[in-house]
Chain A
């Protein structure tokens, strides 16, 4: 198991190198620089522009900037944001728990509903349930996130008054310093009556919105994977042995059908970690997706470079965990057979 881990970890090194290079060059290919973008109508004199570029080190040759950046990374220094003047790692760590909390909730929502829905659809293939479920999944998959989020706010918050509009907690009723950054935990630690339930209420809409696409993907993936497995000889054998349908599907078929689903769960989680921008924007969720997009708009090179590297690290670690999970589900993968 240790060798398997080591091998997988070694494979991530070239990924990191490529990522460092691509992130560094791509942001610099975008026209405009951090100083000019901020100036707007006011403009800036060429002398002052030169002075500020010098102060920020932007007048250095690109190769020198790249070496400085890599050197910093090797020493654990992700740079300092040009805009907020705070260390990128510190900004990231302030925002990441919010993203992670929402991602976990959305993935749980998608897994808990998506996988059983796919299994049932496969078991009742071609029936009304199967067809309507797959129709719903396709609709969920094609739904524009922004529109879906706003519709839910209008319905659930403004019309039915069931959920709050946005944010992570009622700012008037509750106030406590974040301890972990995970509001579900911090609200309990705060000891304030009702805070935890309020956090849960605030999580409902963003969880549904962010979880909708993964839910549709998991349902469809599980269904097709299950259909394949249900045709296998060992399933027929299990049935012939007189096992109940529940045991055949739930124990024999599902375990093998889950391998491709686990892959997709890993990929989707990675996507959500960095790409929940729209959900974060609609629901005023202080996460890293929105921060990264704003960094592009402001040409905040250090924030963008550091942010992408940190997210990439999280995604790579996640993929490593998924690889390990394969090994647990199917030992043949672990032993390289």
Chain B
């Protein structure tokens, strides 16, 4: 009897849904994989962050297609003169999704929700700190535990006061990152009472433009427009993530109009996409850098002249042509050109093997046996590290440097580079938040002059490091730009890296799609996207 009722109910619901589905305007996004869960704070992969993004908001956010930070849930914020206290004023009447997982909110979003969201990551004794074996990687990586003194309610329910232990200029950019997503504390209480706290990270409830509907692992994620959202009703009614792991199949689906936006095209398909009248191929310079680091703790790479000579010995133009298929820009600075404070005046080292040979001889290096590490995976900033290493090896041989190619499994590779086992090694970085600090910290050192883990060039320059710390304490962008300019000059003269390229990011969308912007941070956002019928 019970099963008959259940069947009847599912038939009725299916029919209702079918009617709804038929009349709604849908956008299908061909994503590449399944999310690990729907809580950005415990994720690090782009696939998982993309899956949670439609549901949630942050206090501040990046304007779509840029790295400009603008207010979001907070309609305004004020930073104290000493730079240590940030007061956020929340928008009044921010609605929380209703009807998901049986939850009906009794109130709008308040300071309590903001405090809850940060304290989950900050306080190990928070009731949700250990739910889903939470590991708050981004929160920790951005130095939030050391930076955040307290987060408290202000004068009213809509005021949040965040106190820092020291001034930190990149903080607003950090708060626009996904780990700073604001959750509903009331939903957490509801699940605790229900005895299913782990559902918090599996069935998301937020304030975003789309409300979660359903997720079937490796198949589909469904969202529906949240008309009461503070940012207004999105232009499409249904947002569907069709999980399509193969890039060629994604393109086939795009051509057949089975999806309208797709992630990560196969480089081999780009030429065809550019010619296809049904497809718009949007491109943007990526917020990334691929580089060859030289271990300054290991002679002869402790000499700046040797590192400069390596810069001159390698034919960068040939690498960009062959490895990046010309879809990349030669890198001059440790920052990509899309980031503010990028120094346009920097002159790159010319490709000049003869001069490189002379410089090596002057530094006492006539013949050198060394190693050159390449990562075993394709990365956004380096589509083919092995081939790149081979090309570099051939160029270096011409100036008397015999480089042996070395590689390890990806986790092992990164660990050994961090330990400084290499002499020369390929790696790169994709920006998190559009702040220059988020790139320059890669060359930072501790107070005792030892290189930080990320600094695989093992290069410590006291002046460079002091400027990095100084810039963090200044909120004035012009003043920071000046300091970052000086740091780029030091970097170029010292040449701890051979900066290779900034790759271009391509996103194919259907011709019917409008309002879609490619994020330099690799995010996929659909609030303003429309589809012509």
A residues neighboring B (CB under 8 Å): 30-33, 36-45, 48, 52, 55-56, 83-86, 91, 94-95, 98, 150, 153-154, 157-158, 161, 164-168, 170-179, 189-193, 281-287, 290-291, 294, 299
Contact = CB atoms under 8 A, between A and B. Distances in A.
B258 interface: yes
Contacts of B135: 52, 55
Nearest to B44: A38
Contact of A33 (B219, B220, B248, B411): B411
Given A39-B414, A172-B240, A32 B133 contact: no
A36 B453 CA distance: 14
B218 A95 contact: yes
Contacts of B34: 84
B145 to A, nearest CB: 11
A40 to B, nearest CB: 7
A32 B410 contact: yes
A91 B37 CA distance: 13
30 contacts: A33-B411, A36-B414, A43-B454, A83-B36, A84-B37, A84-B217, A91-B217, A94-B217, A98-B219, A153-B248, A165-B252, A166-B253, A166-B258, A167-B219, A168-B219, A170-B258, A171-B240, A171-B242, A172-B21, A174-B18, A177-B13, A177-B214, A178-B216, A189-B10, A190-B14, A281-B245, A281-B249, A286-B243, A290-B245, A291-B217
A164 B258 contact: yes
A160 to B, nearest CB: 11
Contacts of B13: 176-177
A59 to B, nearest CB: 15
B244 A166 contact: yes
A287 to B, nearest CB: 8
Contacts of A172: 21, 26, 28, 238, 240
B411 A36 contact: yes
A192 B414 contact: no
A33 B412 CA distance: 9
A284 B245 contact: yes
A157 B14 CA distance: 28
B429 interface: yes
Greatest chain A CB density within 10 A among B13, B37, B246, B253 is at B246
A157 B218 contact: no
Interface in B386-436: 408-412, 414-415, 418, 427-430
Contacts of A190: 10-11, 14, 18
B263 to A, nearest CB: 13
Nearest to A52: B135
Contacts of A166: 244, 249, 252-253, 258
Given A41-B430, A42-B44, 20 more contacts: A32-B412, A33-B411, A37-B411, A40-B44, A42-B137, A43-B454, A45-B453, A84-B36, A85-B132, A164-B258, A171-B28, A171-B220, A171-B240, A175-B18, A175-B222, A176-B10, A176-B17, A191-B11, A193-B18, A281-B245
Nearest to A167: B242
A9 B22 CA distance: 51
Contacts of B305: none
Interface of B is mostly: mixed
Interface in B173-225: 198, 201-202, 214, 216-220, 222
Contacts of A161: 256
B141 A42 contact: yes
A284 B249 contact: yes
B451 to A, nearest CB: 12
Contacts of B63: none
B140 interface: yes
A31 B216 contact: no
Interface in B146-198: 198
A290 B33 CA distance: 11
B252 A153 contact: yes
Contacts of B256: 157-158, 161, 164-165
Interface residues of B, number: 63
B15 interface: yes
Given A153-B249, A165-B258, A36 B218 contact: no
B7 interface: yes
A interface: dominant SS = loop
A164 B201 CA distance: 33
Max count, chain B CB within 10 A of own CB: residue among A42, A91, A154, A299: A42
A284 B246 contact: yes
A282 B454 CA distance: 37
A255 B132 CA distance: 56
Contact of B252 (A94, A95, A154): A154
Interface string B440-462: 00000000000001100000000
Nearest to A55: B133
B255 interface: yes
Interface in B40-91: 44-45
B21 A174 contact: yes
A10 B201 CA distance: 43
Contacts of B240: 171-172
Contacts of B429: 41
A230 to B, nearest CB: 45
Contacts of A174: 18, 21
Nearest to A283: B249
A305 B219 CA distance: 23
B44 A41 contact: no
3 A-B pairs with least C-beta separation: A32-B411, A36-B411, A286-B218
A157 B256 CA distance: 7
A165 B251 CA distance: 10
B21 A173 contact: yes
A38 B410 CA distance: 10
Contacts of B249: 150, 153, 165-166, 281-284
Contacts of A41: 379, 414, 427-430
A33 B33 CA distance: 21
Contacts of B430: 41
Contact of B10 (A33, A158, A179, A287): A179
Query: Which of B11, B217, B453 has the largest count of A CB atoms less than 10 A from its CB?
Result: B217
A178 B215 CA distance: 11
B174 to A, nearest CB: 14
A172 B22 CA distance: 8
A177 B133 contact: no
Contact of B201 (A32, A85, A94, A286): A85
Nearest to B8: A191
A179 B240 CA distance: 20
